[in-house]
Structures are given as structure tokens and as C-alpha cells.
Amino acid sequence: MDYDKEQINKSLHQYLSDNLDTMKDLWKESYKENDVTVPNATIAEKLEEMKEHFITELLHVFQDDETSFYNRFQAKIEEVVDESREIWKPLLLVQEEFTRYREIILDHIEYFITQYDKSVPIEHVLEWQRKALRAFDYASSAFMQQALLHMDEEIQDKENMIMELTAPVILLQPGIGLLPLVGNIDVERGDVIVENTLKQCALKQMDRLYIDLSGVLHINALVAEKIKQLISALQLLGIETTLSGMRPYMAQQAVQLGISFKDVQVVSDLPQALRTNQVPVQ
């Protein structure tokens, strides 16, 4: 055999490294030819940074041990995704970028073969193509997985924030808090109100909690059951409760539904509740 496999791999790697600027220019040209629309300047900048990392890192697949390459490649992808959160949303755009660069790399492998001074066996050419395609598939899949993972984390953080805002316990003074309920309460929100209120009251070491219903549009069996469930749980924690803001028609609905709040201090409005318990009203 008239060629050294290790040496020819190094030669290909060197050839591609020497032509990085050319491949980058071709990549940019493909942008113009395909009339690619980038959402904004920030995403364009981050996309260029990602491509800069990727275009250099991928070349090592032709020279390094594949296990070492993929371990390092995965770490680099995770780093790039973590630093380039702005490009998560246009994932299709990122996918298209991988496809363009793949064609450029494959073309340059062909250019290298035509310029190399020795014959390259077909099985070696096929091996290079396999390595390139596998690396691109891996990069595309790994990038998407990491991006979606971070997206899920952001969505969960936002959902947690929304859940906290749906039942905010406002600290009026040490040991005394206010839970203003607003809007409609369904099963899911009712469960969140109970869980989040108990958590916040324990965290803030409450002795008394005012539950104001003036922002609730109507009361039904579900709303009443959740409020009673919350009050019972607060009592078990040693927290006294005062219910305020129940409108006349809501009181009528409660009576019609057979709902009783006889074991709870009930007042007409929040200022009265605060005065009754000698809490300073701002």
C-alpha cells in the first residue's frame, strides 16, 4: 500500500484548516444566495459565533480518535448552546446552517482528493464522508437536544413564576400577611393557591393571614372548597385567618351551595379586617 493512513488524515485536516477562511466565505455567500432572513442583529451575531466554534471544532474528526473527538465535541456544543440562548428559538435556521456547512466540507474533501499527490483508496474516501456526515448528524441532534433542554428549563421557571404570582402572599408586617385573590379559580389554579400559600406562609412565619375575595368574580362549590381547604390547612399550622371582600351575591351563592364559613372570621372588606385586628392601614 503506497500511502500512510495517519499521514493522509493529517494532510486532510491541514488542508481543511488552511482553507477555513475560504469555507467561511462560502458559508456567508450561501446566506446571500438563499436569501436567509435572521430575526435580529443579536441572533445574527450569536449565530456567527456558533459557526466560528463549529467550523473549527468539526475538522478534528478527520484526525483525532473518534471517542475523544465526540467527548470534546459534546462539551463544546453544550458550552455554545448555554452561551447563545438567543438562537434557540429559530432552530430551523440553525438546522439549515448545519446542512450548508456539511455540503461545503464534503466539497472540500473532493478538492483535497483531486490535489493530493497520491491515490486515495475509495474506502478511505468513504470513511471521510462517513465521519463528516456522522459528525454533522451528531452536532445537529446534540444542539437540538441541548437547546430544547434549556427551553424546558426556561418554560418551567416561567411557569413557576406564574404560579407564584397567581397566589402572592404579601407581608403586611412581621407575622401578618395578605392573600389577594383575583379572577376565576379553576381546579388547577385552586390547587396551586393552596400549595403556594401554605409554602409562603411557612417560609414567612405567618401568624395571621387575610384572604381577600374582592377580586374574585364569583364563588362556586370549587372555589369555596379550595378556600375552606386552605383555611383548614392554615389552622393546622397555627395560622389564624380572616376572610374579606365577599360580596352579597357571593354570600347568597355560598348559602345556596350549603357552604359555611362559621369557623372563620368574615368581614365585609379588607380595611375593616385590618382595623378589627388592629393592623395599621396605609
Taking the C-alpha atoms of residue 249 and residue 12, their distance in angstroms, rounded to an integer, is 82
The predicted structure's pLDDT at residue 195: 87
The predicted structure's pLDDT at residue 1: 47
Mean pLDDT of the chain, nearest integer: 79
Average pLDDT on 126-155 reads 81
The predicted structure's pLDDT at residue 269: 78
The predicted structure's pLDDT at residue 261: 72
270: CB partners within 8 A, 6+ apart: 178, 210, 212, 214, 244, 245
Average pLDDT on 158-174 reads 74
For residue range 232-277, list pLDDT tens digits in order: 899 899 999 888 888 777 777 777 777 777 777 888 777 877 776 6
CB 272 within 8 A of CB 244: yes
Query: In terms of pLDDT, which residue wins out, 161 or 184?
Result: 184
Percent over 90 (pLDDT), the chain: 6
Average pLDDT on 7-21 reads 89
For residue range 75-128, list pLDDT tens digits in order: 877 777 676 555 555 566 667 777 888 888 899 999 998 888 778 888 888 999
The predicted structure's pLDDT at residue 165: 63
221: CB partners within 8 A, 6+ apart: 257, 259
Q: How far apart are the first and last CA of the chain?
A: 92
Between 160-174, 213-227, 267-281, the lowest mean confidence (pLDDT) is in 267-281
pTM over the 0.85 mark: no
The predicted structure's pLDDT at residue 89: 54
Percent over 70 (pLDDT), the chain: 80
